[in-house]
Amino acid sequence: MLAVGVLGSGKGSNAQALVEAIESGRLQARIVCVLSDVENAFILERARRHGIPAEYISAAPFKTKLDGEAEQHYIAALRRHGAEVVALAGFMRMIKRGLLRAFPRGVLNVHPSILPAFPGLEAWKQALAYGVKVTGCTVHFVDEGMDTGPIIVQKSVPVLEDDTPETLHARIQEKEHEAYPLALQWLAEGRIRLEGRVARICSC
């Protein structure tokens, strides 16, 4: 069964969605560990409640990327727990070459917009400020760019006239919680084939 290591910095609702998809049989995988760069992040608490090994690992001295010795500590922990693939679930740092090379089966990310629109931080606020009428979420392979890797699945949501950043983000997150287990299940089934930057989903 596909062994997934999860990295997150925040409240962990996507990690929770993965756990629930596994428990309900929609995702044939196991989460072997949850690692966080934020000591008191709720994602760690959620993992512990489900008996999943959860560790805070400092990413200092860097503020916005996972690099240097910290990157090596993350790679070592993921390997120690037996991770085959890595799922970023609200991990708010740029991933560098070392981690990508260490996990060639895939490092995945969930992003709260329809990429390539609105990469970077707080994409739902960017969508509101721009005035788009539709936004959503993307699950994609991570490459060395900022939210630029091959796209596996996207789901859309309408932007409503009375949306606030909070209501829009909540609507996007409901879709993230469907999309992320789906993408990982496709990966577990070996259905994703990369052709250049295009991820093809086989119906085999």
Residues that bind ligand GAR (CB under 6 A): 8, 10-14, 43, 89-90, 110-112, 123, 173, 176
Question: Which of 75, 113 has the CB closer to ligand GAR?
Answer: 113
* Cis, bond preceding 116 (omega within 30 deg of 0): yes
CB of 119 to ligand GAR, least distance (A): 8
Question: Which of 40, 203 has the CB closer to ligand GAR?
Answer: 40
State yes or no: is 111 an active-site residue. Answer: yes
| Residue 185, token pair as written in the block | 């299940």
Q: Of 50, 81, 111, 140, which is the active-site residue?
A: 111
CB of 74 to ligand GAR, least distance (A): 17
CB of 112 to ligand GAR, least distance (A): 4
User: What single string gives the DSSP state of each residue in 46-114?
Assistant: HHHHTT--EEE---TT-SSEE-HHHHHHHHHHHHHTT-SEEEESS--SEE-HHHHHH-TT-EEEEESSS
> Catalytic residue positions?
111
